């Protein structure tokens, strides 16, 4: 049996004496391939100022309006030093939230940009940042964690998938006695296409 090049060049596949077919390939992760195709994005809330303590303040809302699935690869929580805060704050992630003043207040995020600087592709999502006292309603609790410093929640091996219409939200409850703290949420997301 001879394996011919299907494009008409006349090339044939090389098979060695151990009956191994020789190939030349490049292996990339799914997120790397998406970024190369112009389908990877960076979302950053920018500064969210929290001036209370012990209250769940909605800091980020994100809804997929794309026709394709959207994959959340990682979420970065960037915490500034808490003024007066004692102990850890509490971060909560919500699955499919539907309302709250973070949505009705509609504060624009700082960045919603393509990670491939040569691509003109844009991401069709509804995403807002919150403020002190912003609320998030509906949906289910997906997870929570106590934090006193910056953290990366990496979903590379077990990604979060948002179908069209699905959403995710995050609240931050600052440590006891906090009077001022900056919070930023950044995330890497990509759309899944037939090319991946």
CATH number at residue 100: 2.60.120
Least confident range from 14-23, 27-36, 75-84, 145-154: namely 145-154
Q: Is residue 104 part of a domain?
A: yes
Q: Is residue 9 part of a domain?
A: no
Which tokens go with 167? 């959403």
Structure confidence by residue, pLDDT tens digits, 92-107: 999 999 999 999 999 9
User: pTM for the full model?
Assistant: 0.85
Q: Which residues pair with 168 in a beta bridge?
A: 62, 95
Is the confidence at residue 196, as pLDDT, over 50?
no
Q: Is residue 87 part of a domain?
A: yes
Q: Are 161 and 71 in contact (CB under 8 A)?
A: yes
Domain with 122, as residue range(s), is 30-191
Q: Is residue 40 part of a domain?
A: yes
Q: Is residue 175 part of a domain?
A: yes
The tally of domains found in the chain comes to: 1
Is the confidence at residue 150, as pLDDT, over 50?
yes
């Amino acid at each position: 049996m001879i394996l011919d090049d299907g494009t008409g060049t006349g090339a044939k596949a090389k098979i060695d004496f151990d009956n191994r077919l020789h190939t030349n390939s490049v292996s990339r992760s799914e997120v790397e391939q998406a970024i190369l195709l112009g389908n990877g994005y960076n979302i950053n809330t920018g500064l969210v100022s929290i001036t209370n303590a012990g209250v769940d303040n909605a800091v980020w809302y994100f809804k997929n309006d794309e026709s394709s699935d959207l994959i959340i690869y990682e979420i970065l929580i960037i915490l500034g030093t808490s003024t007066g805060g004692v102990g850890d704050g509490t971060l909560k992630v919500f699955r499919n939230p539907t309302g709250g003043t973070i949505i009705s207040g509609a504060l624009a995020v700082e960045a919603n940009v393509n990670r491939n600087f040569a691509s003109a592709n844009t991401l069709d999502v509804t995403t807002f940042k919150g403020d002190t006292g912003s609320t998030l309603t509906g949906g289910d609790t997906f997870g929570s964690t106590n934090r006193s410093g910056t953290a990366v929640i990496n979903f590379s091996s077990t990604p979060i998938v948002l179908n069209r219409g699905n959403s995710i939200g995050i609240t931050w409850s600052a440590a006891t006695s906090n009077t001022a703290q900056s919070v930023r949420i950044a995330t890497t997301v990509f759309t899944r296409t037939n090319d991946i």
